[in-house]
A and B are shown apart, each in its own frame.
Chain A
């Protein structure tokens, strides 16, 4: 049933309401492009008050609500629910306050991740979490997904840097949680909200902790004959007590794609490569860089490069951060997976993935955050070949099962969203999920915010898990399962 845009236009202005079917299609998916649902209406508010009023109005109309940042998420966390209002936060992109003395900034959710660091660079500071999409993804989305990135090995994830927020709740009310001062009294609601995938509230302002730019950073690139050797090198570095800022691994197929797409002069005959940053105070960085190189050589590194100039460093990182996009050079389509395993299982898991690839007949490239065991296998396929897309998804699912079998997780940084909700029951018991649902129900008893995500089956907010029952959205035909 079409929704009358008029009352929403009265709140945000007609030019900030999207209702035309052709324009709504822009919002029908996020980075998980295989799943598309057209929302009933999109609003683009500019203030907390406008968000609050839109949410209230949508609830009065019985519409589910899906918040959306830059739409770069890879797990379908921002895919609309049928009949929903999408609250797009792209216009809220002001950096509201920079407090260098206290190493805090206050920003709106639509601010692009990299723009925070750009604004702080002249002052000698930066924002540490750096997802590969950082030049386009927004802070609000980062908070929803607890975004990570290559450098979270040393510096932590969004949850370690987001201190407080202004939150619009499902009933339209506005509350402050956490704040610039540490240890706000009571439960740590900020820890609950970060990574809750837009299901607890809509963040309209965020306090972020920012860090002093390191005095010195050394980037080291090394090639190996096999991923097993590269994995041994990672273990040796960590065992030595070195905590690099980042440890990235790429296998031969990934190197081939990156070379072809970005023009970096990496050797094509390597079976694996490591890209490592060590940073900190100058006196220590030289020592750790030296040791890191020695350890890699001892583990069989074929070639080691460690440029001193920033331009060379930036080029290497450009290669790594462009890795997903580079797959386009060697395959018409690819399916990104995001699994986590204990670091010591890397070699065994990569072997199993290779076996899986060869049995399935599809190629799998591996690009991943080796330091914290966060794999990003890229399953390559051709959508024009009947059945290949489904096969790729099945291979992706099997990879997650391998991660679970090795004591890991189904997602390290991309989130559960729509894509992985079905795997949640393999990782958690029904009681575990029910307990997570208690938290959700405390914030949003009607489950109006981003319904259908994270949980494998719709859950009610009753006292006890009971027999099967349709949710109100299912009864009204506005939402299904999955």
Chain B
């Protein structure tokens, strides 16, 4: 167990906490909702929880921007934004638990990344506390800004190893007037990719394409396609997907958009072993054969969820035999890395030492180490837990 958990109630208290840790040379880790902690969980030192930082600092609906403290959950923020017909267009799997700060640190996203991008595309500015306890700010509150180096984007996906994010200013979007979802069932992996290409060639603009593996059949997917916007647009696009399916003899049905979202979220939070792969989108079918299917075959009750247009997939389940599952992870990783992608083990029960959560560091790891050394020279912030021992 950890020594202490600190729960500062304001950014100033958070800065004081980090300052105290710096004075005592205590190592520490930051904690949000605890949904995306990848790799080692620190057993010693201090845990600083952001759950006391829960203010929505400034919401300007006219400018479609909101400034929130790190501990605000997605569900809380969504409620406030919805009152003004807006939303944060990041569909995390566990909105009740996930915090904004944690999601920024983890670069959390969902299927709507296809249209709205990830936090990198939505973050406008941040309030930080550095390892030495100094509070600083980067970016700004306006949607367009190139003044100075944009440290807010550097924080996205840094897994709490550079600085504590205490607040963030984010771009928000209008809630759509109409949402439609369509499910194409039993598609082979190359048909999933064909669907993506065909929709693109017909100028369709889905906000999400999420292919869920069917537990009953290996390498068959049910692809949920979501459209959002004004009624005329979403209806004509939905009709067009039906036409694509009819031409190819694929089975297709309209589904409740909420059920499509739930299915996707379930697949992304399954476990106890869960990996996330990122590949070149056009490699999806090949990767399914070489990496996804063999890994799923080693799991009881496997769940596979892929965003084919983004080249991202999740595989989760209970290892039938742990060693065989870990071998499959290692094989999948080798195959994916050889194509320029990566495979991250997001969660694993009793992971053996040779299965490192992140995989082979990229060629620029030297620069990353320099950055870490400048931001956290004493290596006290969750050090060693990130890629290549960052």
Binding site for B on A (CB under 8 A): 99, 101-102, 124, 145-146, 148, 152, 156-157, 159-160, 167, 169, 175-177, 179-189, 191-192, 195-196, 212, 214-215, 235, 238-239, 241, 243, 280-284, 286-288, 340-344, 369, 372-374, 407-416, 420, 424, 427-429, 431-436, 438-443, 454, 463
Q: Known interface pairs A416-B147, A438-B374. Does A409 touch B359 (Cβ–Cβ under 8 Å)?
A: no
CA distance A258 to B43 in the complex (A): 66
CA distance A176 to B368 in the complex (A): 12
- Neighbouring B residues of A148 by C-beta, 8 Å: 144, 146
- Within 8 Å by CB of B374, from A185, A342, A442, lies A442
Q: Show 26 residue pairs from A and B whose CB-CB distance is below 8 angstroms, ordered by the A residue.
A: A160-B121, A180-B340, A181-B342, A183-B107, A186-B365, A187-B390, A191-B150, A191-B156, A196-B149, A212-B203, A214-B203, A235-B62, A241-B174, A283-B232, A283-B233, A283-B236, A342-B62, A343-B143, A344-B62, A373-B142, A373-B144, A408-B140, A409-B146, A427-B140, A435-B128, A435-B138
B158, B359, B368, most chain A CB atoms within 10 A: B368
Per the 8 Å Cβ criterion, residues 158-205 of B in contact with A are: 158, 162, 173-177, 197, 200-201, 203-205
Name which of B129-137, B247-255, B267-275, B298-306 contacts chain A: B129-137
Per-residue 0/1 for B14-34: is the Cβ within 8 Å of any A Cβ (1 yes, 0 no)? 000000000000000000000
Is B297 interfacial (CB-CB < 8 Å)? no
CA distance A249 to B374 in the complex (A): 43
Per-residue 0/1 for B195-234: is the Cβ within 8 Å of any A Cβ (1 yes, 0 no)? 0010011011100000000000000000000000110110
What 3 A-B pairs come out closest when comparing CB atoms?
A284-B233, A241-B174, A191-B153
In the complex, are the beta carbons of A187 and B158 less than 8 A apart? yes
- Neighbouring A residues of B360 by C-beta, 8 Å: 185
A163: shortest Cβ distance to chain B, in Å?
11
Name which of B276-284, B288-296, B324-332, B346-354 contacts chain A: B276-284
CA distance A157 to B147 in the complex (A): 14
Q: Known interface pairs A176-B364, A241-B174. Does A184 touch B136 (Cβ–Cβ under 8 Å)?
A: no
In the complex, are the beta carbons of A192 and B154 less than 8 A apart? yes
A216: shortest Cβ distance to chain B, in Å?
8
In the complex, are the beta carbons of A410 and B153 less than 8 A apart? no
- Within 8 Å by CB of B136, from A160, A412, A429, lies A429
- Neighbouring B residues of A443 by C-beta, 8 Å: 367, 370
B142, B146, B150, B200, most chain A CB atoms within 10 A: B146
Beyond A187-B390, A412-B145, A428-B137, list 18 extra A-B contacts (CB 8 Å): A101-B282, A157-B146, A160-B117, A176-B362, A179-B340, A188-B157, A215-B203, A235-B62, A372-B142, A372-B144, A407-B141, A412-B144, A429-B137, A435-B136, A436-B149, A439-B149, A442-B370, A442-B371
Q: Known interface pairs A283-B232, A409-B140. Does A435 touch B130 (Cβ–Cβ under 8 Å)?
A: yes
CA distance A429 to B135 in the complex (A): 10
Binding site for A on B (CB under 8 A): 60-65, 85, 107, 117, 120-121, 128, 130, 134-138, 140-151, 153-154, 156-158, 162, 173-177, 197, 200-201, 203-205, 229-230, 232-233, 235-237, 278-282, 310-312, 339-342, 344, 358-368, 370-371, 373-375, 377, 386-388, 390
In the complex, are the beta carbons of B148 and A181 less than 8 A apart? no
- Neighbouring B residues of A183 by C-beta, 8 Å: 107, 157, 278, 312, 342
- Neighbouring A residues of B140 by C-beta, 8 Å: 340, 408-409, 427
B142: shortest Cβ distance to chain A, in Å?
5
- Within 8 Å by CB of B364, from A186, A288, A428, lies A186
In the complex, are the beta carbons of B367 and A189 less than 8 A apart? yes
In the complex, are the beta carbons of B137 and A189 less than 8 A apart? no
Return the chain B residue nearest A340 by Cβ: B142
CA distance A278 to B368 in the complex (A): 41
CA distance A342 to B387 in the complex (A): 38
CA distance A235 to B148 in the complex (A): 28
In the complex, are the beta carbons of A185 and B387 less than 8 A apart? yes
CA distance A214 to B203 in the complex (A): 7
Q: Known interface pairs A412-B145, A424-B147. Does A431 touch B340 (Cβ–Cβ under 8 Å)?
A: no
Return the chain B residue nearest A286 by Cβ: B232
B347: shortest Cβ distance to chain A, in Å?
17
